[in-house]
Structure 1
Amino acid sequence: MEKFLENKVCIITGAAQGIGKSIAERLASDGAIVYACDRAEGTMDEWAKVCSEENNTRVLPLYFDVTDTVAVKSAFMSVFKQEGRIDTLVNNAGVVFNKKIGMILRPETELMFRVNVIAVIEMVQLVSRLMARNHGGSIVNIASVTAVLGSPGQTAYSATKGAIISFTKSAAKELASLGIRVNAVAPGIIKTERFNELYEANGDKIDNRISRIALGRLGTPQDVANAVSFLASDRASYISGQIFGVDGCASI
């Protein structure tokens, strides 16, 4: 089986569980050297060792808070110093508070913007300088179908993901001359640990949304990981500034 990312150096934030973990596993299976990032120290050590052995590559845990600019710079520079390059950055780490307009608190909104938007902008600023030294790279941001369709009870969260879509399109144009591609994946309803928690609280409403998915099923973290793997690889060498909906045709 051809490994489309063999020896590519990839950084994935929010990789301890859910979509981020599946992305890390998929990129490793495609031959990438994976730096799996999360803020909770020690949570990925054993998994990273097993994933490395199963895929005959290196999966290395890296612990930092994406909102800590100094820690992010230190982590990225250590990867660049160790590997001599960074080929892919996947901005997956995110925070969501599912609350209606009248209930969302300012500290919750500010936290979502710090994690979901400001941290992404700052990481792209840093990694693009490093990628430029090797004349290219791929950045994949994780957006959301809510940014396209809207979602009751997710107004502030939708706003953060809308910002990511706008940022992706502008960054792609700005960084194209450096050979750096910037795209986003916008998942629909994905069956993760977080989904299970939401379903317990809002099962009827979620069932109604699922009934409108044209392909007739929930998405899986692997569905998202497949799209990210494609965008990270040379198969997508002429694709930039695009928002890939992974939503089962729910956005139409």
Structure 2
Amino acid sequence: MSGRDKVALVTGAGRGIGEAIAGRLAAQGAAIAVCDLDPQAADKVAAQLTERYAVRATGVGADISDGTAIRAAVERVSTELGPVDVLVNNAAIDVLGRFVDSREEDWDRIIAVNLRGTITMTRAVLDSMIERESGRIIHIASDAGRVGSSGEVVYSATKGGVIAFGKALAREVARHGITVNSVCPGPTETALLGQVAEYSQKMYEATARAIPLRRIAQPTDIAGVVAFLASDDAAYMTGQTLSVSGGLTMV
């Protein structure tokens, strides 16, 4: 990324991978919209970014499963910071457990946040990007969407959908100078991974042992790849899916 005039909107940026991404982009001089379901967490992260990196930052509370809330959030960001140049669709949820034990209301919520939320947020920023003939859209998908994950069947389906959505959209908007790519984290030290340990400590330990690089990822490992995709160095990459898993998956 080059220049302080870039505006990046990161969803689910109140903690974890999203917070790390917001920090990395701020370190490169971008103005940051910290979007999160928890408005207090969003405001706190935004204040920290301004203090640490002397960039413009604003916290935006929004439930990305709500289309009206998304559109209001994007309008606010455009007013306070300027049009969105970089969108990072990071927000996601999961409910761990066997599919046969899962509930329909959980399916609906997972799909609404992970897939529909990503689609709706992307649509909300796209017209402005097309008008300016420039933009970076980066989806935080998951290797679960590429190879499947036991105990995360509907989550895996939504992340597979995000990857396919990104590829198809990349073909449509390339002529407007907009790139669309997906990043697939492997096991990463986040609240979601904590749910895996609670669900099955045996599964957590087996997963950690299986990683060739012999460690669980930190959120900053994911943030560095996102920052690359947001930069001018990745201007000729679009429709790609990058696994950041320490070698756990090689597809």
TM-score, normalised by the number of residues in structure 2: 0.95
Counterpart of 2:244, as a letter, is V
Cα distance in structure 1, aligned partners of 2:44 and 2:117: 27
Cα distance in structure 2, aligned partners of 1:62 and 1:48: 9
Q: Is the 8 A contact 1:80 1:130 kept in 2?
A: no
1:44 maps to what in 2? 42
Aligned positions, number: 250
Comparing 138-147 and 36-45, the one that deviates more: 36-45
2:115 maps to what in 1? 117
Where in structure 2 are the equivalents of 1:63-74 lying within 5 Å?
Answer: 63-74=61-72
2:139 maps to what in 1? 141
Q: What is the SS of the residue equivalent to 1:181? A: strand
1:24 maps to what in 2? 22
Q: Is the 8 A contact 1:8 1:87 kept in 2?
A: yes
1:218 maps to what in 2? 216
The 1:77/1:148 distance shift into structure 2, 3 A limit, reads: same
Q: Is the 8 A contact 1:128 1:180 kept in 2?
A: no
Cα distance in structure 1, aligned partners of 2:48 and 2:117: 29
Misfit runs of 4+, over 6 Å: none
Comparing 242-251 and 48-57, the one that deviates more: 48-57
Counterpart of 2:153, as a letter, is T
2:182 maps to what in 1? 184
Cα distance in structure 2, aligned partners of 1:228 and 1:50: 20
Shift of 1:5: 5.5
TM-score, normalised by the number of residues in structure 1: 0.94
The 1:85/1:44 distance shift into structure 2, 3 A limit, reads: closer
Where in structure 2 are the equivalents of 1:37-116 lying within 5 Å?
Answer: 37-116=35-114
Unmatched segments (≥5 aa) in structure 1: none
Shift of 1:177: 1.2
Comparing 117-126 and 200-209, the one that deviates more: 200-209
Cα distance in structure 2, aligned partners of 1:91 and 1:46: 20
Counterpart of 2:95, as a letter, is F
Asked if 1:230 corresponds to 2:228, the answer is: yes
Q: Is the 8 A contact 2:32 2:57 kept in 1?
A: yes
Cα distance in structure 1, aligned partners of 2:65 and 2:125: 15
2:160 maps to what in 1? 162
Instruction: Write out per-residue CA displacement over residues 205-249 of structure 1, whole angstroms, 9 at most, x where no aligned residue.
Output: 111112221111111100111111111111100000001101001
Instruction: Write out per-residue CA displacement over residues 173-227 of structure 1, whole angstroms, 9 at most, x where no aligned residue.
Output: 0111111100010000001133234324422111111222111111110011111
Q: Is the 8 A contact 2:39 2:59 kept in 1?
A: no
Cα distance in structure 2, aligned partners of 1:198 and 1:209: 10
CA RMSD of aligned residues (A): 1.4
Cα distance in structure 1, aligned partners of 2:32 and 2:108: 30
Q: Is the 8 A contact 1:165 1:184 kept in 2?
A: yes
Instruction: Write out per-residue CA displacement over residues 117-163 of structure 1, whole angstroms, 9 at most, x where no aligned residue.
Output: 11111111121111112111000001001111211111111001000
